[in-house]
Amino acid sequence: MDRLLTKKDLAERWQVTETSIDNWRREGTLTACKGMPVIRFSPQHIAELEGTKLEKFSPLQRKKLEKELESRNIIVELRDKEIADLKLKITRMLSIGAEGIYSKEA
């Protein structure tokens, strides 16, 4: 887990005073982490405010997962096609069987 930022950390990061951080908190621009006895800020929240987004995966991990999902989708498509083919064959077999039963009765 990323280290939470203090007011001082954030003020240094943004090159402003801690008073500015307090003002932005009061205005609702900044949201501190809840349930903490001291004021701390989530690095993810700060990154979003800065217009950046922290990714949970590296580009290599993301590419690997995308390829895995793609291969799973291909497998699902093939399975669905096989199921449809089997249903068609069963329907034809039942039709042929029914024709045989009704032709014997006639």
What is the per-residue pLDDT for 56?
67
> For residue range 17-55, what is the model confidence (pLDDT) as tens digits?
999 999 999 998 899 999 989 999 999 889 888 877 656
**Beta-ladder partners of 5:** 41
Q: What phi, psi does 18 have (nearest 5°)?
A: -65, -25
Average pLDDT estimate for 68-85: 88
**Beta-ladder partners of 41:** 5
What is the per-residue pLDDT for 42?
93
CA distance 38 to 32: 9
**Proportion of the chain above pLDDT 90, given as a percent:** 43
Average pLDDT estimate for 7-22: 96
CA distance 42 to 50: 12
For residue 104, what are its two tokens? 């014997």
For residue 42, what are its two tokens? 């989530």
C-alpha to C-alpha distances, 45 to 5, 55, 65, 84, 94, nearest whole angstrom: 10, 13, 25, 48, 62
Identify the band that residue 72 occupies on the pLDDT scale cut at 50, 70 and 90. confident
What is the per-residue pLDDT for 74?
84
